[in-house]
Structure 1
Amino acid sequence: MNWQEIKKTAREKLKPYCRVCPVCNGIACAGEVPGMGGVGTGSSFKANVEALNRIKLNLSTIHDVKEPETAIEIFGQNLSLPVMAAPITGTTYNMGGAITEEVYCEEVIAGSLMAGTIGWTGDGADPTMYGSGISAIKKNNGKGVPIIKPRAQEEIIKRIRQAEDAGAIAVGVDIDGAGLITMALKGQPVSPKSPKEIEELVKATELPFILKGIMTLKEAEIAYNLGVKAIVVSNHGGRILDHTPGVADVLPEITEKLKGKITIIADGGVRSGVDVLKLLALGADAVLIGRPVVVAVFGGGRDGLKLYFENIKNELKQAMLLTGVASVKSVPKTILRF
């Protein structure tokens, strides 16, 4: 099994929800929500990819780096690479249903662990979606991160307890899901959260609490001041608000002020190990990858995901070798050319 074979199989299983384009850039699927596209014009999805593409790397081969180190520690876990699987749900109405929610979650968690990293699971309009992720995490000794939609406080706390019971390594809320159409259509109300409500959630658990969907320095600082342990700089894959900037455009503003104070994870438009290195150079501690993980799992299950992450790791090491970066824990911004 190779990546091209995985993509071919995925293309058949995901048809017509995802075309598995040669370049996953949001052009062909613009406006397809539900589906795999970006909301409205698809501008926000495309902006993630374009923001990364505008950044170039300075080639450097006169240095002492011989064997780049890609391992990191996050949430008390040692990972072989600074990349994790993003939380994605809706295998039926977003991906066609060739794989059930339960199987998808199991393959993401197991495949991520096989590659030496961690899978995140999500929440959705069907309450069983969150349960599928919790079940997969529990089966794998808690090695996963469940993310909850910004529901009513009591509903979130109930799901936090499920995460705790599963032994999850961390838990969080994708606060940018506040306006998701599919949640409203299915009678699952979501809404923005006040600082007081966020603080209540942080204090409701001993697990590291994550806020996913931060796109401004102001909100990153609010999260930090409220005791949030990690933020994910993300526009929800461009699926919730048209015409936002790309993640790589806003990330430097946040990392310049908060690097080292709070764990900063970037999520949006990552398609290669080179993209990973760019985001690390912009100050991210780690990266999430979404849509390509769907392709890997639909095309090859947990083995396909393991292969995908191994490819990303190899690309990352190659890029580090050719830019003089010894460790992903310290990637200088000077390797970038804007």
Structure 2
Amino acid sequence: MSSLPKLQQIPAEIAAVADYQAFARERMTPEAWAYLAGGAADEQTLADNLAAFQRVRLLNRVMEDLGGGHTRLRLCGLELDYPILLAPVAFQKLAHPDGELASVLGASAMGAAMVVSTQASVSLEAIAQAAQTPLWFQLYIQPDREFTRELVRRAEAAGYRALVVTVDAPVNGLRNREQRAAFAFPEGVEAVNLKGMRSLPPSVARPGASPLFGSPLLEHAPTWKDLEWLQSLTRLPVLVKGVMNPRDAVRAVEAGVAGIVVSNHGGRTLDGLPATLDVLPAVARAVEGKVPLLLDGGIRRGTDVFKALALGADAVMIGRPYVHGLATAGASGVAHVLHLLRTELEVAMALTGCASLADIDASLIWREGHLDAR
């Protein structure tokens, strides 16, 4: 097991989560920045995830009783102090030499649950040994199904509390920013949890044929039957991540999932998808409260967390913001990002008259022409 990361100093100029971005970019190579910050194609979806929160306005309430206020919640068997989790982000050693070990230390300091990526640059066991906070394991159902089975066993043995299956990336998005930067993984950064996995057989497609359809890659892409198979392997709660279509949300509920993450992969797969916040209300209506809903994509303020909860989410996950904190100040930066967002959420709750998360609902979203006294 690696030694614990050293704590680093947070730049005095940082007052908000967005302030970390410039510092992070200075501390990362251009190639690593292109990989972690970029999105698919023209990055429309990446930008719209952020813009969606700017389009939504809040409506305050005054003189409400805020005695005994708190942000606690129960989520898939976890008792959490606030509704912000660290999303799975791959290859965190691109941002900081301590990688995921620093992130889990920051999460532990703030009591936030962390979702560990299959493509972490530190082993899932080492992360679990360093954690003093609940962990979930993000899983891609691999073409090598036996290797997938072994990953599940490893996660269970290491004490992970749930599996989060990413379902929106049977292939990688075309990330042009990354291509233009000629990104390649530096020495010492790799998906260590995938060592030993069998490779796909070579494609036998004829010259000039489609690069994807008819290839082994899509022939082995996971389906709803594979989700059922995965659930049969484990007693852990299984959530699905990457749902944007209400019809898929209904089908996921019918499949018995423990939760749904409304996500467009941070704008990194299919460009042109809407912002996650924009589809959230329709997904929430389709799910009808039968399973918890989480949302990721575009959160930079505690008020963004509040808006997501008001529009139907039970909790949110952050990705790039904590990686910016990680790149800037290691574990201290990760913890500070969480602290800033939690503080801003509590301020927003106090100023909208919400003593608990249960008080946050759509009545606190301002809509022109829809105000009345009822």
Q: Check whether TM > 0.5.
A: yes
- 1:113 equivalent in structure 2: 108
Contact (CA 8 Å) 2:141, 2:165: kept in 1 or not? yes
Which residue of structure 2 lines up, in the alignment, with residue 253 of structure 1?
Answer: 282
Deviations 1:282-323 (A, max 9, x none): 111100001011011111222221121111111001111111
Rounded Cα–Cα distance in structure 2 between residues aligned with 1:17 and 1:321: 42
Where does residue 161 of structure 1 map in the other structure? 153
Deviation at 1:141, TM superposition (A): 6.1
Cα distance, 1:3–1:278 mapped onto 2, change above 3 Å: farther
1:147/1:173 contact within 8 Å kept: yes
Give 1:177's aligned residue. 169
Tell me whether 1:85 sits opposite 2:99 in the alignment: no
Structure 2 match to 1:146: 137
Between stretches 72-81 and 282-291, larger displacement belongs to: 72-81
Could you tell which deviates more after superposition, 45-54 or 207-216?
A: 45-54
Unpaired segments of 5 or more residues in structure 1? Answer: 20-31
Q: Output one character per residue of 1:258-279: Cα deviation in whole Å (capped at 9) or x when no partner.
A: 2431111101100010000000
Counterpart of 2:108, as a letter, is: L
- Are 1:70 and 1:82, in contact at CA under 8 Å, matched by a contact in 2? yes
Q: Kindly state the Cα deviation for residue 17 of structure 1 after the two structures are TM-superposed.
A: 4.8
Deviation, 1:281, is 0.5
Normalising by structure 2, report the TM-score: 0.77
- Please tell me whether the aligned partners of residues 89 and 123 of structure 1 are also in contact (alpha carbons under 8 angstroms): yes
Query: 2:128 aligned with 1:137, yes or no?
Result: yes
Alpha-carbon deviation of 1:113?
A: 1.7
Aligned length: 314
| Residues 136-145 or 258-267, more deviating | 136-145
Q: Could you say which structure has the larger radius of gyration? A: 2
- Judge conservation of contact 2:105–2:131 (CA < 8 Å) in 1: yes
Instruction: Letter of the 2:165 partner, please give it.
Output: V
Provide the residue aligned with 1:298 in structure 2. Answer: 327
Whether contact under 8 Å (2:262, 2:293) holds in the other structure is yes
1:12 aligns with 2:53: no
Deviations 1:91-117 (A, max 9, x none): 46xxxx3524xx211122221121011
The answer for the alignment partner of 1:273 in structure 2 is 302
Question: Does structure 2 retain, via aligned residues, the 8 Å contact 1:145–1:169?
Answer: yes
> Is 1:220 the counterpart of 2:212 in the alignment?
no
Task: Check 1:291–1:254 CA distance in 2 against 1; reply closer, same or farther (3 A cut).
Answer: same
Residues in 2 aligned to 1:243 and 1:251: alpha-carbon distance in whole angstroms = 16
Number of the residue aligned with 2:223: 194
Q: CA deviation at 1:58?
A: 0.6
* Alpha-carbon distance in 2 for matches of 1:272, 1:3: 19
The answer to whether the 8 A contact 1:150-1:178 is kept is no
Separation in structure 2 between the aligned mates of residue 136 and residue 90 of structure 1, nearest angstrom: 13
Q: Which amino acid aligns with 2:79?
A: N
Q: Secondary structure at the match of 1:4?
A: coil
What SS class does the counterpart of residue 27 from structure 2 fall into? helix
The aligned amino acid for 2:77 is G
Highest relative contact order (Cα 8 Å, sep 6+), 1 or 2?
Answer: 2
